[in-house]
Amino acid sequence: SGPIQSIACPVPGCRSLFSTADAKSILSDWDLLMIEHREESRNRRVALAAKAVLHCECGAVGIITEEDVGNGRVVCPGDGCGRRYC
């Protein structure tokens, strides 16, 4: 794994990273459509399983599951934000 803008090489033992743009440039329109469909389906399943969705002022979006509710206070998942919500 690497930064979100990169894709790890699937060859075992290879540690190379490729940019997402380079990887997408060699895929067919159909492959890109199928990847997008799978991502949207996964996002929808995660959102439906959530107890709540947090939209912070910093722009971060967090999915709050039943286990995360705890005492009812949630900390923003954004880098360096730390805002707390009830």
Residue by residue, pLDDT tens for the chain (86 residues) are 445 678 888 899 998 988 888 888 888 999 889 988 888 888 787 777 777 888 888 888 888 887 777 777 888 888 888 888 87
Residue 59, φ and ψ in degrees, nearest 5? 105, -10
CA distances 83 to 28, 64, 76, 80, Å, are: 42, 15, 5, 9
Q: Say what the pTM is.
A: 0.45
Helix (H) or strand (E) holding 33: helix 29-49
